[in-house]
Amino acid sequence: MNIRFGRLEDVESILLIYNQGIEDRIATLEVEKKDMEYMTKWFNGHTERYRVFIAENGGEVIGWASLHPYSHRCAYSGVGEISVYVRRDWRGKGVGQKLLSALEEFAKEQGFHKLVLGTFPFNELGQGLYRKMGFYEVGTFKKHGQLDGKWVDVMWMEKLLL
Ligand SMILES: CC(C)(COP(=O)(O)OP(=O)(O)OC[C@H]1O[C@@H](n2cnc3c(N)ncnc32)[C@H](O)[C@@H]1OP(=O)(O)O)[C@@H](O)C(=O)NCCC(=O)NCCS
């Protein structure tokens, strides 16, 4: 398995993996599957310090991670927000760890001092990954969003890179 920057031709695989995350109802408040137009726009929104990372095995994309702005205010330019999605058949096999390690290395080089993310408290594999990578809980927004008509809490986690 190797980790590299994403390319436009990866968008179809990125979309497939993201839609699996949406279907599984453990990763995001999104409930409608996305299409190529949406995902291409999303991909093209990553420029300069903000990048998409791809885990590739035997020429196949098996996971991705993204580093995107936490806030567009200059005061927060050192804080990056992240997302990670691994293809269903590859979860729990170390792909998330490899993606986050590469992302973190890049983020340090780019002068970020902190990474943050929002996750559902019931996403056990996600929690396992983030805690293993040194993230800790900042706090939990209660009833922060609706998922299929039910309130869900969203936990924020962070990791200082300094
Ligand atoms: C969450 C996700 C990104 C994690 O990536 P992954 O490749 O599956 O995770 P890894 O295999 O790298 O596991 C990392 C650590 O989590 C822990 N872990 C593994 N299985 C676990 C489980 N069933 N429950 C809790 N923790 C677990 C372990 O500490 C593991 O490290 P170790 O195997 O060296 O001990 C991935 O499962 C995924 O894409 N899930 C669906 C989408 C999603 O939830 N994205 C995150 C949104 S916040």
Which tens digit of pLDDT belongs to each residue from 110-151?
999 999 999 999 999 999 999 999 999 999 999 999 999 999
- pLDDT tens digit string along 49-86? 999 999 999 999 999 999 999 999 999 999 999 999 99
The one-letter amino acid code at 94 reads G
CB distance 6 to ligand 1 below 6 Å: no
What's the token pair of residue 77?
């330019």
Q: How many domains does one find in the chain?
A: 1
- Residue 108 beta carbon below 6 angstroms from any ligand 1 atom: no
Residue 67 dihedral angles phi and psi, to the nearest 5°: -115, 115
Q: From the CB of 66, is ligand 1 less than 6 Å away?
A: no
Question: Which structural domain, as residue segments, surrounds residue 82?
Answer: 2-160
Strands 52-57 and 2-5: antiparallel
Q: What CATH code is carried by the domain that includes residue 55?
A: 3.40.630.30
Average pLDDT of the chain is 97
